[in-house]
Amino acid sequence: QGQLVQSGGEVKKPGASVRVSCKGSGYTFASFGISWVRLAPGRGLEWLGWISAYNGNTEYSQKVQDRVTLTTEKSTGTAYMELRSLTSDDTALYFCARESLTRPGVDYFDVWGQGTMLTVSS
């Protein structure tokens, strides 16, 4: 079935950057894509972007596309999300989720990571 395990919680100051990892196991990592989603109190779920674990193709949300970079490392089966120029609005629980390999929107998120809490505070 597969499992995604994310890195631990982070506390950052405004203006800083953060990198969150998401390690896949129990399935062929390069046969799927990974989407990143965040859940903020009072703001619900928000999609940040998608990456193909096969060839590194990406699609980003227009809202954060200037500040986010998604990458993967096939050798270790790990996906990464880097978010820059952090503000308090970025305080949220961040999830990676497995989905379609070819492009986002084809299939559903069938495996989720456990979530990584990011707190941005001065």
Partner 1 sequence: SYVLTQPPSVSVASGKTARVTCGGNNLESKTVHWIQVRPGQAPVVVISHDRDRPSEIPARFSGFNSGNTATLTISSVEAGDEATYFCQVWDTSGDHYVFGPGTKVTVL
Interface pick for partner 1 out of 18, 22, 35, 51 (rule CB under 8 A) = 35
41 binds partner 1 (CB under 8 A): no
Interface pick for partner 1 out of 9, 14, 25, 45 (rule CB under 8 A) = 45
Stretch binding partner 1 (CB under 8 A), from 15-23, 72-80, 84-92, 108-116: 108-116
DSSP the chain: --EEEEPPPEEE-TT--EEEEEEEESS-GGGSEEEEEEEETTTEEEEEEEEETTT--EEE-TTTTTTEEEEEETTTTEEEEEE-S--GGG-EEEEEEEE-SSSTTSS---EE---EEEEE--
94 binds partner 1 (CB under 8 A): no
